[in-house]
């Protein structure tokens, strides 16, 4: 059962949303788009869990979509003059050392700290202070491929500890008090226990996390020959056929700024609509523009993908992951979610779902194309 609304003239977006279900691509999903305070699209449907329909207030863990929300916090620090892109991270975080690493490097995935070399357990990942201490002790990774490579989880701990050092609050508390609370948004880094029953269940397809873009995940013997790959993705293994650890209350309850944000598509779209409209009341328009400027652009050899980053945001490349507008920006999440802004149109959007798909996944592209065409 699909529910929700679209503004007059945007009916093709509802049709695209329904098509994802009729083609068997979805279990449960939500799609929302806002322009300023105007609700353009607010759709949801399918199952949040076995025997539990997706409701208007269902919450979704958005994996790396979290990085876009963390980037907003970092832009607010830049806007307030508390950090500077060209300053060494150690100016604000003395124990970090490594004076060659600047703030711009941790925001643009060029810090050479994409993974952890020290043995790390899943339980360690749930302690953001512990992970910050590990990053303090670690030297930049020497492998040439580390010069520009995606930081799947360390991005969040680097940003989170930098924020704590200059502001005194954790990133989750900062987000709650400076962004979610004032704007009335249902998004959390560290979900209150009272909201847990609203969280949807994540589902893979039996091989998700083992096959990516038709490339089989390396065997243990192959990983032993590639310590960079091991440090980034398998210390401990981030993904695999068992989603229990990502569906567990223990994960939802903690702050994982790189991959653990939980919220509604509606609230995430509303937040990006604020950025699309210039950033007020969170920051000045020029700070939003700064956040969209390219800080790194090149081939991520380790993951065989081109990367183009602003101050924490993914920026458009030839794949056009943020829909047709060339000025789109934001951040996607593992398995297919996409969240972002179209500045020229003044639109913020969020597509969140609980079925994770590797490789060819038309769901978000279809929704964003339909939205853009209907708005033209």
- Span 224-274, pLDDT tens digits: 688 999 999 999 988 877 778 999 999 999 999 999 999 999 999 999 999
Give the 3-state DSSP-derived string for 99-147, with helices as H, strands as E and coil as C.
CCCEHHHHHCCCCCCCCCCCCCCHHHHCCHHHHHHHHHHCCCCCCHHHH
Percent helix, strand and coil across the chain, each rounded to 5? 40, 20, 45
Position 286 pLDDT exceeds 70:
yes
Which H or E run contains 347? strand 347-353
Alpha helices in the chain (DSSP H): 11-22, 65-79, 89-92, 103-107, 122-125, 128-137, 154-167, 171-175, 181-183, 220-224, 227-233, 244-247, 249-252, 265-276, 285-291, 363-375
Position 200 pLDDT exceeds 60:
yes
Cα 281 → chain centroid: 22
3-class secondary structure, 286: helix
CB 298 within 8 A of CB 307: yes
Question: How far is residue 224's CA from residue 108's CA, in Å, rounded to a whole number?
Answer: 28
By DSSP bridging, strand 262-263 and strand 60-61 are antiparallel
Q: Classify residue 197 by its DSSP letter.
A: G
3-class secondary structure, 321: coil
Min mean pLDDT across 301-305, 321-325, 347-351 is at 301-305
pLDDT tens readout for residues 58-99 = 999 999 999 999 999 999 999 999 999 999 999 999 999 999
Tell me what pLDDT residue 219 has: 61
Question: How far apart, in Å, are the Cα atoms of 291 and each of 207, 255, 278, 336?
Answer: 36, 23, 11, 23
Q: How much is the pTM? A: 0.95
Question: How far is residue 292's CA from residue 29's CA, in Å, rounded to a whole number?
Answer: 28
Q: How many CA atoms lie within 13 A of 51 on its CB side?
A: 0
Which class for 276: exposed (0-12), middle (13-18), buried (19 or more C-beta within 10 A)?
buried
Question: How far apart, in Å, are the Cα atoms of 228 and each of 114, 116, 125, 176, 219?
Answer: 9, 9, 18, 35, 14
Tell me what pLDDT residue 169 has: 98
Position 216 pLDDT exceeds 90:
no
CB 148 within 8 A of CB 300: yes
Question: How far is residue 52's CA from residue 205's CA, in Å, rounded to a whole number?
Answer: 19
Position 361 pLDDT exceeds 60:
yes
CB 124 within 8 A of CB 105: no
Question: How far is residue 87's CA from residue 101's CA, in Å, rounded to a whole number?
Answer: 9
Dihedral (Cα; 227, 213, 152, 233), 10-degree rounding: -30
Domains of the chain: 2-375 (3.40.710.10)
CB 204 within 8 A of CB 62: no
Whether omega for the bond prior to residue 206 falls within 30 degrees of 0, making it cis, is no
Tell me what pLDDT residue 213 has: 44
Position 139 pLDDT exceeds 90:
yes
Tell me what pLDDT residue 244 has: 85
Using a pLDDT cut of 70, give the percent of the chain over it: 94
């Amino acid at each position: 059962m699909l529910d929700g609304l679209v503004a007059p003239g945007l009916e093709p977006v509802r049709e695209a949303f329904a098509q994802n279900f009729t083609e068997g691509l979805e279990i449960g999903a939500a799609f929302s788009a806002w322009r300023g305070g105007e609700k353009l699209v607010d759709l949801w449907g399918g199952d949040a869990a076995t025997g539990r329909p997706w409701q208007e207030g269902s919450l979704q863990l958005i994996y790396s979509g979290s990085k876009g929300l963390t980037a907003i916090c970092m832009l607010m620090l830049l806007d307030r003059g508390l950090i500077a892109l060209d300053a060494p991270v150690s100016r604000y975080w003395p124990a970090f050392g490594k004076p060659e690493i600047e703030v711009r490097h941790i925001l643009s995935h060029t810090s050479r700290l994409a993974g952890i070399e020290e043995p790390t357990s899943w339980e360690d990942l749930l302690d953001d202070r512990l992970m910050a201490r590990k990053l303090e002790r670690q030297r930049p990774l020497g492998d040439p491929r580390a010069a520009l490579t995606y930081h799947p989880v360390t991005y969040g701990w680097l940003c989170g500890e930098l924020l704590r050092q200059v502001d005194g609050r954790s990133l989750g508390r900062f987000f709650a008090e400076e962004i979610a609370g004032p704007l009335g948004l249902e998004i959390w880094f560290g979900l209150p226990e009272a909201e847990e029953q609203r969280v949807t269940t994540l589902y893979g397809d039996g091989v998700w996390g083992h096959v990516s873009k038709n490339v089989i995940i390396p065997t243990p013997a192959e990983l032993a020959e590639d310590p960079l790959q091991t440090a980034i993705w398998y210390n401990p293994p981030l993904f695999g056929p068992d989603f229990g650890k990502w569906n567990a209350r223990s994960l939802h309850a903690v702050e994982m700024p790189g991959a653990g944000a939980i919220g509604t598509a509606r609230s995430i779209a509303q937040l990006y609509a604020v950025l699309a409209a210039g950033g007020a009341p969170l920051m000045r328009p020029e700070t939003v523009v700064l956040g969209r400027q390219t800080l790194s652009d090149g081939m991520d050899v380790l993951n065989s993908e081109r990367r183009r980053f602003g101050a924490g945001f993914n920026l458009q490349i030839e794949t056009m992951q943020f829909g047709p507008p060339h000025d789109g920006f934001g951040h996607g999440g593992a398995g297919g979610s996409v969240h972002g802004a179209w500045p020229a149109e003044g639109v913020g959007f969020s597509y969140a779902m609980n079925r994770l798909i590797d490789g060819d996944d038309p769901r978000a592209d279809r929704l964003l194309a339909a939205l853009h065409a209907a708005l033209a």
